[in-house]
Structure 1
Amino acid sequence: MMKRDAYGQLSENSYPRTHRLGPMEPSTPWLVRLADDTGTFRLLCFDFDGKDANGVSPDLMEQASDDCDSLSGTLGQLGIAHVVCQSSGTGGRHLWVGLHGCPAGTVAALAGAARANYSTLDHGMLCNPRTGGARPPLSPHRDGSSSTVLRGSLDALTEPSTSTGDVLALTAHLNTTRPAPRPVESKPSGPLRAGYSSHRSLHATGQAHMATVNGGSNPSWTGFMCLLAAASAGWSLADVAREARTAPGMEHYRTKNTVRGRKPRNAAEAAARLERQWSKAQHYAALQAPLPRRQAPVDLSELTAIVDATDDLLTRFRVSPGRWGRTEKGISQRTILAAIAYLSLQTGKRVVAASIRDLALMAGLGRTTAADALTALTEAGYLDRVSLSDGGNAAEWRLTLDFSTGYGTVRSQPIHNPRPPTELFNLRISLLTTLERQLTEGRHDLFTRPGLGHLAGQLYALLSEHPAVTVETAARLLGVTVRHTATILSRLRHHRLVVKHTDGWSRARRDVRDRVAKTAGVAGLLVDRANRYRVEREVWAWWLAEVDQMNAAPRQRSRRPHVSSRTLTFVDVAQGERTWPRYPRRPDRRADHRSARQLVDDGSLEPDARWKYLGDVA
């Protein structure tokens, strides 16, 4: 049970006292342990929480409700009796299952599988057979509300019918429905409406998500997958808003989940939610843009080594912040190293090809900063450069697997048994989620070099993981001096991005980064940088084609039109190749790179440029 403080208030969400069972209930909120003294679980509680560092988040709270309903539907399909409760007045969900008795290891495997499926699930209590517990149905909350039963009968908890076999069947089912590491490979969560097609083209998976009837079993997840597919396809916010009016899979942006079912949203709320989620989807799409086509891992031992190396790397980031935050270069190196780990974990390959510009765009840095960071990380032994860039091929990098000598590396045989495949894949999903959050939270126009700087972005991302931090705590976590941290916090406070908290500093409830970026004159900087790098790549590919043409035998040279002749298309009939026009030349017959870049920048090499010019002439 909870303990009141010296003022008689329930200020902490902790339960330090025990209460003997009897006819009188405790005077303060209480919880029940999920396992008995032998470590055998008698109850399961899936806690779906919609809170972030700023407290209750309306977006996350609806996602938590959808996650809970999705798991409840799965339990119904498997015939497992359960009870769904609204845990408090804020709207969180508790899903309870009564057990005859289940070993802790079996429940821990279930917790990992469930966490891989539902991002709002707090599965810590299911991994803690000693003290893991939760407030039971009908019990009071410290805010004055109580846990309310929404669905199910309490007899399912007082007279349990779920066996260990049922838990194993649920774990196996969740392992098969686990979302793919890449959204482009994820499967719809429900049936599709036949004949539905979006007004703009999408890849097959994105089209399937758009056509999912009523958003499937998890409308909030399906809705975000639709936004992510649209962002990857180059849609605009206006395109997404138009599609949200009719697309079956975007039901989440038309209605909201309530205790009495889904209710229509008002126009202002729907537009604000769609705009927030669209901004998030654009950052995720930019992070996943450089990913090559995934190949199924042939040898799980290699994937195990990658997962262990990434887990070790994240641990080093946490326990040795001074190595990565002492200087601006160190902060950039940490971000680039996290991007390499993300690529390796996504592809399942130790060696990944990544260009400097792609890594820079993933990290929100400039290409020269990314190049310097790669050089420093290679010299320090954190990365191995497997091959240099060659023509149009990017350099290949390998994450160093052994960052330090562990206690088991000097034995003749490893003392650790390999993880089971399901546990390995669940841990992989968890690490990918952590890396995605770290790489996207601080990636914004405002946190570029002309704005507030990359360290300000790291501090802003740190505040998403902690409700509040003091200046000293933030300095320790970032690995910088207290004075430097105070300066960054002062800048963030000046722009109303952080607010004063009783325990230090916390993020403002309203995200005003876009507005501040416009005021600072850096709005759209990341988009402009991506366009500039795209033009540089295209000019380089054009010049390489010109060099090949000059080095070819005269009879083998293709007859190429001049760029001003407005041919119908520059796309070659051969798959993956392109027919380039003649490269611009100066009067002295030397290559005119400036004119080539201007032509590419103007879109003159696009296949539909001919029709644009014909319209201008008309």
Structure 2
Amino acid sequence: MVSGVSGVSTEVWTAWALTRRMSPRDQVRVMKRDAYGRVDENSYPLIYRVGPAEPTTPWAMNLADETGLFRVLCFDFDGKDKHGVDAELMEEAVDECDVLSRTLDSLSIEHVVCQSSGTGGRHIWLALHGGAPKLAVAPVASAARANFRRLDHGMLLNAVTGAARPPLSPHRDGSYSTVLRGNLNTLITPSTTIADLAALAAVLEARKPSLRAEHSPPSGPIATRHQAHRPLSVAGTAHMATIDGGSNPSWTGFMCLLSAANAGWQLVDVEHAIKTAPGLEHFRTKNTGRGDRRPRTAAEARARLGRQWDKAQQYAALQRPLPAVREPQDLSELDAIVTDVEALLTRFRVSPGRWGRTEASSNQQTILRALAYLTLQTGKRTVAAAIRDLGPMGGLGRTTAADALTALAAAGYIERVSASDDGNAAEWRLASTFSTAPSTVRSQPLNNPRPPQEIPSSIGRSAAELFNTRTHLVALLEEQLTDQRHDLFTRRGLGHLAGKLYALLRQHPSLTIDAAARLLGVTARHTATILSRLRCHKLLVVHRDGWARSKQDLRNQAALQLNVLGTLLARAERYRIEREVWAWWQAELSTMMSAPRSRPRRPHVSSRPLFEASSPGERVWPKYPRSSDQRGDHRSARELVNLGVLSPQNRWQYLGNAA
């Protein structure tokens, strides 16, 4: 017998007795023992009638009855990955569970919080008075998915087979689901109505992070007296000053790191900020799961910060080319964009051979992903995409990106709306041949759309569903692009295809050689070679079903061994210098073509101002270096920009020609 936790439930229940009272159906699904009597597989293939006798193996209870009405809801927060339980992910799951529990309390929705097993996962249970159809539950599931990354929301969308282990029930590892907060009697006498679900969906929709999570409001009150030692964006400053990390310290901590990475901070700056910044509480203390926090050890804090900082830098590099967020105007075009991107990703999945048969095809797929990501982020069909932005987003060079764009346009996957001119990037749009969205004849919106107060009747899905689907697609593309964007997966390293295979192993717990070959669209022999190289650098481990990622991310160490560490940073700096030299030369051409009387007085490049003017206005460029025949000396200009001579902060950097 398993009893309720003292002080939590007013009545003692056994696991099976509670299931018999709660179950919407007269049957549950149970695990099947293997030939050795073990229950190692996390599946419930057998049907067991709900009667007096308790099953001998763990069971799962359906959330909806035979008519499709949900009678109970279960929010499943888990911190597992393909290797099993991950302590870092589990802590995020506990934080997210606490956030949802407090939200339910604020709405006076009775619920029960359980630790689902000995590994630490969380279940939040609530019972529905009179049941609720799928259309009433779907908005809650959609909004919850947008708020909580560790939530398994699939069972909330499946009225046929959606099921979960009920409170107090046994787990296959020998532990039990134990009640942490709430009264089990509230699950026997339901009180949550459809109106309560609508209110919950509205609150979660209002609180969900922005499409660019860094711009989201803080998750709690902020300390007005806290001042970061280096400049941050307005949103980043708010996250850093969030008292005790707010309602979700793990999320707030990563938002602080992402803001710092976007602001050009170094790891040493973050380590200094951890000493005093309220928003970085996640890296000082740990959620115990009992409503309090305890200090981390120095080694644990250092290791967690290192992993999260690497992740924040990857996301910052991917998001750097994105334009500023603008006020929205339209929604119908966004529906067409989301539909087209869904169709594009489906095409990638069902015809991998088209994108894997050559290195050029693989690069084209990456550029298409980057364009789809820009399109979703901006909410505009036509996007300005420079080759020096698109290439680095996927870990490719500018010439590779240019070749891929040309090939994709010739194949009809994208269309060039305007060519690059006067320093402006060329404008591209995804072709509309992937699908046909309803009512897409309106003019191109100029701004980035947001959910309107009323939903146009021409849109096939609700506004909330549309924006949550968009958020999910953006997150999916971000994961794919950041996983393959690493120095190790450049051409001098293990190659771009190795990065794609490494990214695939985030979505799949394990892959055999044949399965990986089908997903990549290459031969099994080529796939085996890639797997061997990844295994050689300890990035993969042998799995019972093929190959899986190693638990520790050793990409930096492998890149150091191959002498490619820093390749992407060096490439980004080279492109920055090229842009600076180009802008300087364009300013020189404008001066040369203007009337002599209207030309500004330009200092020599070696002269340094005593201070930098803070008033806004156009930049005053120094004289462009000239060769002995008075032609523009582009090589000298590049060297000067590389030395930082054009930056007013480096006043005494350049002294060579000062005499």
Output the TM-score relative to the length of structure 2: 0.90
Q: Is 2:425 the counterpart of 1:425?
A: no
1:335 corresponds in structure 2 to 366
C-alpha separation between the residues in 2 aligned to 1:295 and 1:420?
22
2:377 corresponds in structure 1 to 346
Tell me if structure 1 keeps the 8 A contact 2:340–2:435: no
1:169 corresponds in structure 2 to 199
C-alpha separation between the residues in 2 aligned to 1:465 and 1:52?
10
User: What amino acid sits opposite 1:306 in the alignment?
Assistant: I
Alignment counterpart, residue 86 of structure 1, candidates 108, 115, 124:
115
Alignment counterpart, residue 531 of structure 1, candidates 573, 595, 599:
573
Q: Is 2:325 the counterpart of 1:294?
A: yes
After TM superposition, the structure 1 stretch with the greater mean CA deviation from structure 2, 294-303 or 163-172, is 294-303
C-alpha separation between the residues in 1 aligned to 2:83 and 2:570?
32
Offset of 1:570 from its aligned partner? 7.0
2:170 corresponds in structure 1 to 140
1:412 corresponds in structure 2 to none
User: What amino acid sits opposite 1:284 in the alignment?
Assistant: Y
1:356 corresponds in structure 2 to 387
C-alpha separation between the residues in 2 aligned to 1:39 and 1:297?
38
2:44 corresponds in structure 1 to 15
C-alpha separation between the residues in 1 aligned to 2:398 and 2:612?
29
Tell me if structure 2 keeps the 8 A contact 1:570–1:578: no
Alignment counterpart, residue 68 of structure 2, candidates 21, 27, 39:
39
2:21 corresponds in structure 1 to none
Structure 1 residues 434 and 206: alpha-carbon distance in aligned structure 2, compared to 1, 3 A threshold: same
Offset of 1:177 from its aligned partner? 0.7
Question: SS at 2:174's partner residue?
Answer: coil
After TM superposition, the structure 1 stretch with the greater mean CA deviation from structure 2, 276-285 or 241-250, is 241-250
How big is each residue's C-alpha offset from its partner over 1:425-474, in whole Å with a ceiling of 9 and x where there is no partner?
A: 11111111111011111111100110000000000111111111100000
Q: Is 2:254 the counterpart of 1:224?
A: yes
How big is each residue's C-alpha offset from its partner over 1:84-123, in whole Å with a ceiling of 9 and x where there is no partner?
A: 1111111111111111111111111110110001111110
Tell me if structure 2 keeps the 8 A contact 1:570–1:580: no
Q: Is 2:582 the counterpart of 1:540?
A: yes
Alignment counterpart, residue 244 of structure 1, candidates 258, 271, 274:
274
Offset of 1:21 from its aligned partner? 2.1
> Percent of aligned positions with the same letter in both sequences?
64
Q: Is 2:369 the counterpart of 1:369?
A: no
Structure 1 residues 572 and 203: alpha-carbon distance in aligned structure 2, compared to 1, 3 A threshold: closer
Question: SS at 1:349's partner residue?
Answer: coil
Q: Is 2:208 the counterpart of 1:178?
A: yes
Q: Is 2:185 the counterpart of 1:155?
A: yes
Alignment counterpart, residue 193 of structure 1, candidates 202, 220, 223:
223
Offset of 1:184 from its aligned partner? 3.8
1:315 corresponds in structure 2 to 346
2:481 corresponds in structure 1 to 439
Offset of 1:573 from its aligned partner? 4.4
Offset of 1:53 from its aligned partner? 2.2
Question: SS at 1:609's partner residue?
Answer: coil
Structure 1 residues 504 and 416: alpha-carbon distance in aligned structure 2, compared to 1, 3 A threshold: farther
User: What amino acid sits opposite 2:216 in the alignment?
Assistant: S
Tell me if structure 1 keeps the 8 A contact 2:332–2:439: no
Tell me if structure 2 keeps the 8 A contact 1:572–1:579: no
Structure 1 residues 417 and 234: alpha-carbon distance in aligned structure 2, compared to 1, 3 A threshold: closer
User: What amino acid sits opposite 1:123 in the alignment?
Assistant: H
Offset of 1:193 from its aligned partner? 0.8
Offset of 1:484 from its aligned partner? 0.4
Offset of 1:55 from its aligned partner? 2.0
2:638 corresponds in structure 1 to 597
Q: Is 2:530 the counterpart of 1:499?
A: no
Offset of 1:150 from its aligned partner? 1.1
C-alpha separation between the residues in 2 aligned to 1:184 and 1:45?
29
Map residues 417-566 of structure 1 onto 2, 5 A cutoff.
Answer: 418-566=460-608
Q: Is 2:107 the counterpart of 1:71?
A: no
Offset of 1:529 from its aligned partner? 0.6
How big is each residue's C-alpha offset from its partner over 1:115-155, in whole Å with a ceiling of 9 and x where there is no partner?
A: 00111111000000011010011111111111111111111
Tell me if structure 2 keeps the 8 A contact 1:570–1:581: no
User: What amino acid sits opposite 1:212 in the alignment?
Assistant: T
Offset of 1:536 from its aligned partner? 0.4
Question: SS at 2:42's partner residue?
Answer: coil
How big is each residue's C-alpha offset from its partner over 1:559-610, in whole Å with a ceiling of 9 and x where there is no partner?
A: 10001111246768444x2110000011111111111000100111112111
Q: Is 2:84 the counterpart of 1:55?
A: yes
Q: How many residue pairs are counted as aligned between the two chains?
A: 609
User: What amino acid sits opposite 2:378 in the alignment?
Assistant: T
C-alpha separation between the residues in 2 aligned to 1:131 and 1:208?
43
Question: SS at 1:256's partner residue?
Answer: strand
Question: SS at 2:140's partner residue?
Answer: helix
C-alpha separation between the residues in 1 aligned to 2:613 and 2:546?
58
Q: Is 2:308 the counterpart of 1:266?
A: no
Question: SS at 2:46's partner residue?
Answer: coil
Alignment counterpart, residue 140 of structure 2, candidates 110, 115, 118:
110
Offset of 1:408 from its aligned partner? 12
Structure 1 residues 492 and 571: alpha-carbon distance in aligned structure 2, compared to 1, 3 A threshold: farther
Tell me if structure 1 keeps the 8 A contact 2:343–2:435: no
C-alpha separation between the residues in 2 aligned to 1:406 and 1:428?
15
Q: Is 2:412 the counterpart of 1:381?
A: yes
C-alpha separation between the residues in 1 aligned to 2:135 and 2:463?
15
Offset of 1:401 from its aligned partner? 2.3
1:119 corresponds in structure 2 to 149
C-alpha separation between the residues in 2 aligned to 1:541 and 1:6?
72
Tell me if structure 2 keeps the 8 A contact 1:50–1:92: yes
How big is each residue's C-alpha offset from its partner over 1:134-183, in whole Å with a ceiling of 9 and x where there is no partner?
A: 00111111111111111111112111111110001000111111110013
C-alpha separation between the residues in 2 aligned to 1:420 and 1:546?
53
Offset of 1:612 from its aligned partner? 5.3
After TM superposition, the structure 1 stretch with the greater mean CA deviation from structure 2, 247-256 or 45-54, is 45-54
Tell me if structure 1 keeps the 8 A contact 2:606–2:654: no
Question: SS at 1:496's partner residue?
Answer: coil
Structure 1 residues 346 and 253: alpha-carbon distance in aligned structure 2, compared to 1, 3 A threshold: same
User: What amino acid sits opposite 1:329 in the alignment?
Assistant: A
User: What amino acid sits opposite 1:325 in the alignment?
Assistant: G
- Any stretches of 5+ residues in structure 1 without a counterpart? 410-414
Question: SS at 1:142's partner residue?
Answer: coil
Tell me if structure 2 keeps the 8 A contact 1:570–1:579: no
Question: SS at 1:299's partner residue?
Answer: coil
Structure 1 residues 333 and 97: alpha-carbon distance in aligned structure 2, compared to 1, 3 A threshold: same
How big is each residue's C-alpha offset from its partner over 1:380-431, in whole Å with a ceiling of 9 and x where there is no partner?
A: 111111111112211111111222679999xxxxx98521111111111111
C-alpha separation between the residues in 2 aligned to 1:143 and 1:407?
50
C-alpha separation between the residues in 2 aligned to 1:580 and 1:52?
53
Question: SS at 1:18's partner residue?
Answer: strand
Question: SS at 1:179's partner residue?
Answer: coil
Offset of 1:54 from its aligned partner? 2.1
Tell me if structure 2 keeps the 8 A contact 1:106–1:168: yes
Runs of 4+ in 1 over 6 A off after TM superposition: 405-409
What is the Cα-based RMSD across aligned positions, in Å? 1.8
C-alpha separation between the residues in 1 aligned to 2:587 and 2:575?
18
User: What amino acid sits opposite 2:603 in the alignment?
Assistant: P
After TM superposition, the structure 1 stretch with the greater mean CA deviation from structure 2, 106-115 or 256-265, is 256-265
User: What amino acid sits opposite 1:18 in the alignment?
Assistant: I
Tell me if structure 2 keeps the 8 A contact 1:150–1:259: no
Offset of 1:353 from its aligned partner? 0.7
Structure 1 residues 571 and 598: alpha-carbon distance in aligned structure 2, compared to 1, 3 A threshold: farther
